[in-house]
A and B are shown apart, each in its own frame.
Chain A
Amino acid sequence: MSAKPVSKGNAIMSIPLLFANQVNAVVYLIPLLAVISLVYNATRYEIPHVIIQRSIRFFFTAIIIMGVLMTLLALLSWNL
């Protein structure tokens, strides 16, 4: 079986669909990350406001790191 050639127009059209598919996954991952950051930091500290403060910092740090990695992977796989 020969693979059907994909025109450049089709490839560009598929990118939003690919992104939409990934957004679907993010919907599940964001609350999961919030829970992980809250529980993890609660096991490290005792004072409530310290736990909250550290959890927020942990959450946004993880979001930024994952965003950078996702962007990097998207760039590396560009036009593949």
Chain B
Amino acid sequence: MTDSQNKIELKNPVVAAILAFLIPGAGHFYQGRTFKAAIYCFCILSTFFCGMALGDWKTVYYQSEPGRRNLGYFAQVGVGLPALPALIQTSRYNKSVSPSNLAQHEADASYFESHSYHEEMPLEAPFQGTLLDRGDDGKNVSGKLDGYIRLKAVPGEFGTEITGTFEGTLDNKPISALTLSDPVGIGLPLGGDAQRSLECAVVREVNGRRMDTGHIEGLIPRPFLNWFEMPLTNHELDDINKKLGKRYEFAVVFTWIAGLLNLLVIWDAFEGPAYGRGDEEELKPQDKTPPNPKS
């Protein structure tokens, strides 16, 4: 222990250190060192969340698969509570992706066949994507879709089938509802991206027969808890690097630095400042002259 405790009331240093780990600045607030608490809380949390925002909220995650482990998380976790959900999300993610699928598809969780989507039915979600279809008049129809999709499982001739509708616009113009059917492909419910892919066939009545005339493909949103701090697949990591380039690297560094700075803060809460004892003052020029022994 240093002399710092003679001047600074550290209260219970262990409690202060734990609080400082959980929320930057909370340990100092507990000790009554409000100025430092404000500096730490503002600086570290703003750096951490700026890093997350710069990297499209995909910078903080923990990948526990052997060979793909990201050591950077051990720097990020220094920030405490804001980074801890990544551990829970990794556990959820690992449970949802079976080892056989990991081996077969190199852990690319967005692969359509890697989970049974029948369990998710009925599914209702906003949808944005593209249409490639042959219209009632036999002409090709294509464009950007924006609307709402509804899918449900129904008993069919050969077992459970998926059927549904899309309602919305094609190239910003309202269109009549599209009837959707199998084959359907949906990305995993859990993933690092805020949206997941969906594609399915479009069916029409042609000459009294129900025929597959085209397909739609696009994205539907994931709930916040299903993507926040979730491990990124190789595909998602490639996409974010392609989209953001150098900015993603800066974003990751921001979150690392925030976590590492909080280690200094935890030590300050536990032990007091490295040099200052609470009574230090900048020496004035006249104070630096040696005292006169005769006086």
Interface positions of A (Cβ within 8 A of B): 24-25, 28, 31-32, 35-36, 38-40, 42-48, 50-51, 53
Contacts and interface: CB of A to CB of B under 8 A. Distances in A.
Contacts, number: 74
Given A32-B254, A35-B43, A39-B44, A46 B264 contact: no
9 contacts: A32-B253, A40-B261, A43-B265, A44-B273, A46-B7, A46-B33, A46-B273, A47-B280, A50-B281
What secondary structure prevails in chain A residues at the interface with B?
helix
Nearest to B272: A46
A51 B39 contact: yes
A48 B39 CA distance: 10
Contacts of B280: 45-47, 50
Given A25-B250, A50-B282, A39 B276 contact: no
Q: Which residue among A31, A32, A46, A47 has the maximum number of chain B CB atoms within 10 Å of its CB?
A: A46
A19 to B, nearest CB: 15
Given A44-B273, A45-B275, A39 B282 contact: no
Nearest to B266: A43
A31 B261 CA distance: 14
B261 A39 contact: yes
A58 to B, nearest CB: 13
Interface string B190-219: 000000000000000000000000000000
Closest 10 CB pairs of A and B: A45-B276, A46-B276, A43-B268, A43-B264, A46-B278, A35-B43, A44-B274, A28-B250, A39-B261, A48-B35
A42 B47 contact: no
Contacts of B47: 32, 35
Given A32-B257, A36-B257, A42-B40, A47 B276 contact: yes
Interface of B: 4, 7-8, 33, 35-36, 39-40, 43-44, 46-47, 50, 54, 246-247, 250, 253-254, 257, 261, 264-265, 267-268, 272-278, 280-282
Nearest to B43: A35
Nearest to B263: A43
Contacts of B7: 46
A39 B266 CA distance: 12
Contacts of B278: 46-47
Contacts of A43: 264-265, 267-268, 273-274
B254 A50 contact: no
Given A43-B268, A48-B35, 12 more contacts: A35-B43, A35-B261, A38-B43, A39-B43, A43-B273, A46-B36, A47-B276, A47-B278, A47-B281, A50-B281, A51-B36, A53-B282
Nearest to B275: A44
A44 B39 CA distance: 13
B252 to A, nearest CB: 12
B273 A39 contact: no
A44 B280 CA distance: 11
Given A32-B254, A38-B43, A51-B39, A45 B273 contact: yes
Contacts of A53: 282
A39 B274 contact: no
